[in-house]
Chain A
Amino acid sequence: MEYSYFPGCSLEATAKEYDMSTREVCRALDIDLVEIEDWNCCGATAIRTLSRATSVAMPTRSLAIAEKMDRDVVAPCNACFHKLRKSAHVLKNDKQLNETVNRILKEEEGLEFTGKNRIRHLADVFANDVEPDVLKSKVVKSLENLKVAPYYGCLIVKAPQFMEYENPERPMVMDRVLESMGADVLDFDLKTRCCGGPVVMTKEDVALKLTGDILKRAKELGADCVAVLCPMCHFNLDGKQSAVEKYLGETLDLPILYFTQLMGLALGIEPKKLGLKRNLVGVEKIVASLAKL
């Protein structure tokens, strides 16, 4: 199985461990990720404030480069995934903007975007392109003693207008993958509640409150850890956890792992290769609980 891989900027920097674990897990599952050559930033949730046309054109350039191959495009980051899909959706419906973007892409870089390739989230690929039995058969260390709160965030499923692949309020792709690998996946009612990712730099208190609500609920449900699939969610839940603790005036100490890190552990991949030292909230007890099995 071959895919065009759009890692996104965070996976080269603050979310390097997501990139490391994604590549390791794909290798173990015989999934070939071929990085899109010279891909550029998708503009995230920021550039739209300055220009809506540019915000659509930025992901389109990378999609156009990817169209040199007939492969599904895979993005592990929710914001990238949302932006890639949204741009394709907007250009399908807005003929005028489509003409402008394509004409300029062609003139400047000889590129063309037609929308022929499907755009997928990494979790969707693991859930729907890999047989659950295959996932199960590759498990070396079972996750069965682990209560996992699956946290999806918003942009992976919200706007059903162009996210028809999943339920916009109660997605299950990550639940299914982790369950196949033996984890005790909790029915997490806040799985698509916003963590405040896009406003954490400018309205920190708002983000701390939202993130606090999510972390507290996961604790209440008895979670040993939270599994995430977005670098912005991870930054808030893990990176900002000590700030959230101060804000709430209580200790949380809740490990936040990328779902690919959990998958990697189950597949018996060395913690070092999964970048587990990069998680700010220590994950030692999670690793230890698996080793005991």
Chain B
Amino acid sequence: MDGGALHWEDTNTGFMAEVSDKLKDKITCLQCGTCTGSCPVAFAMDFAPREIIRMLQTGQRDKALSCNTIWVCSFCNTCYTRCPGGINIPEIMTVLKNTAMKEGVSPEKKERNFYLAFAKTLEEHGRLFEPELGLRYGLTVGLGRVVSDLPMGIEMLRHSKLPLLPHRIKNPKKVSKMMTRIHEEACE
């Protein structure tokens, strides 16, 4: 890929090429650090956003996929908004999350379970049934989590904020299969 002088390519591992191919965009990062300076959750990250891009440039694939950064990112898009190079950093985080999920290298089991529980409720109903997501996810974390969430659940029930029945689309199974087909044919 011809990325010009800014597109530092790690020729040994091809990690940069792997990510930018999936992103379908060049990652012309100057390492200015605007992303890190703008990130509201950098305080909770193993490595700040700028360092993740540096890992792409230097081919540190394992490190990028196994740090907590990609899971702490709250997808607020502030970095993308401010990046002078217009680099879609939240989408880079998404590419890395996809890869980490697929390869099972993420140390963040909670996240994995949350996203799988989310997908499962959509598969069933075509729309998100929030109480079911809470329960499905809670149970993967452990009974303790479900118990600790109970007071909030009761408070929400008291305020009629929890529906008891899901809203379904006409044919959730069909739509779910269609989405799987799109996923497969888009070669992800």
Nearest-neighbour CB distance to chain B for A51, whole angstroms, equals: 4
Contact code string B100-129 (vs A, CB < 8 Å = 1, else 0): 010000001011001110110010001111
State in angstroms the CA–CA spacing of A280 and B44 once bound together.
28
A34 beta carbon closer than 8 Å to chain B? no
Out of B81, B126, B161, which one reaches A14, CB within 8 Å?
Answer: B161
A279 beta carbon closer than 8 Å to chain B? yes
- Count of A-B residue pairs with CB < 8 Å: 178
State in angstroms the CA–CA spacing of A13 and B110 once bound together.
24
Contacts A48-B94, A154-B78, A202-B111; A100 near B182 (Cβ below 8 A): yes
Do B175 and A46 touch (CB < 8 A)?
Answer: no
Contact code string A40-82 (vs B, CB < 8 Å = 1, else 0): 1101111111111110011001000000000000000000000
Do A280 and B155 touch (CB < 8 A)?
Answer: yes
Do B137 and A49 touch (CB < 8 A)?
Answer: no
A139 beta carbon closer than 8 Å to chain B? no
For A41, what are the chain B residues with a Cβ–Cβ distance below 8 Å?
122, 126-128
Contacts A100-B185, A201-B114, A206-B41; A50 near B98 (Cβ below 8 A): yes
Of B8-16, B59-67, B69-77, the stretch lying at the interface with chain A is: B69-77
Do B74 and A206 touch (CB < 8 A)?
Answer: yes
Per the 8 Å Cβ criterion, residues 95-121 of A in contact with B are 97, 100-101, 104-105, 108-109
Per the 8 Å Cβ criterion, residues 14-30 of B in contact with A are 22, 24
Contacts A52-B94, A161-B86; A9 near B74 (Cβ below 8 A): no
Contact code string B171-188 (vs A, CB < 8 Å = 1, else 0): 000110011111101101
Do A101 and B167 touch (CB < 8 A)?
Answer: no
Nearest-neighbour CB distance to chain A for B170, whole angstroms, equals: 5
B5 beta carbon closer than 8 Å to chain A? no
Of A142-150, A191-199, A285-293, the stretch lying at the interface with chain B is: A191-199
B1 beta carbon closer than 8 Å to chain A? no
Do B174 and A108 touch (CB < 8 A)?
Answer: yes
B46 beta carbon closer than 8 Å to chain A? no
Out of B40, B97, B160, which one reaches A16, CB within 8 Å?
Answer: B160
For A38, what are the chain B residues with a Cβ–Cβ distance below 8 Å?
169-170
State in angstroms the CA–CA spacing of A203 and B22 once bound together.
27
Out of B128, B156, B160, which one reaches A239, CB within 8 Å?
Answer: B156
State in angstroms the CA–CA spacing of A101 and B97 once bound together.
22
Nearest-neighbour CB distance to chain B for A230, whole angstroms, equals: 12
Contacts A40-B169, A47-B119, A194-B74; A13 near B182 (Cβ below 8 A): no
Nearest residue in B to A158 (C-beta to C-beta)? Answer: B77
Contacts A16-B161, A47-B118, A49-B97; A159 near B81 (Cβ below 8 A): yes
For A51, what are the chain B residues with a Cβ–Cβ distance below 8 Å?
98, 179, 183, 188
A269 beta carbon closer than 8 Å to chain B? no
Interface footprint category on B: 35 or more
Nearest-neighbour CB distance to chain B for A131, whole angstroms, equals: 30
Out of A10, A52, A160, which one reaches B81, CB within 8 Å?
Answer: A160
Do B75 and A45 touch (CB < 8 A)?
Answer: yes
Nearest-neighbour CB distance to chain A for B92, whole angstroms, equals: 11
Nearest residue in B to A109 (C-beta to C-beta)? Answer: B178
For B74, what are the chain A residues with a Cβ–Cβ distance below 8 Å?
194, 196-199, 206-207, 210
State in angstroms the CA–CA spacing of A149 and B120 once bound together.
37
Do A278 and B72 touch (CB < 8 A)?
Answer: no
Do B156 and A57 touch (CB < 8 A)?
Answer: no
Do B78 and A49 touch (CB < 8 A)?
Answer: no
Do B41 and A196 touch (CB < 8 A)?
Answer: yes
A92 beta carbon closer than 8 Å to chain B? no
Contacts A47-B118, A61-B175; A40 near B160 (Cβ below 8 A): no
For B101, what are the chain A residues with a Cβ–Cβ distance below 8 Å?
49-50
Contacts A48-B94, A49-B94; A194 near B162 (Cβ below 8 A): no
Per the 8 Å Cβ criterion, residues 223-245 of A in contact with B are 239, 243
Nearest residue in A to B131 (C-beta to C-beta)? Answer: A13
For B128, what are the chain A residues with a Cβ–Cβ distance below 8 Å?
9-10, 13, 41, 44
Q: Supply 5 further A-B pairs (C-beta < 8 A) apart from A52-B22, A280-B156.
A: A40-B122, A44-B128, A198-B75, A203-B72, A239-B161
Nearest first, the 6 closest Cβ-Cβ pairs linking A and B are: A53-B186, A158-B77, A194-B76, A9-B128, A154-B76, A46-B118
Could you tell me which A residues sit within 8 Å of B by CB distance?
A: 9-10, 12-14, 16, 38-41, 43-54, 57-58, 61, 94, 97, 100-101, 104-105, 108-109, 154-155, 158-161, 168-169, 192-194, 196-199, 201-203, 205-207, 209-210, 239, 243, 277-280
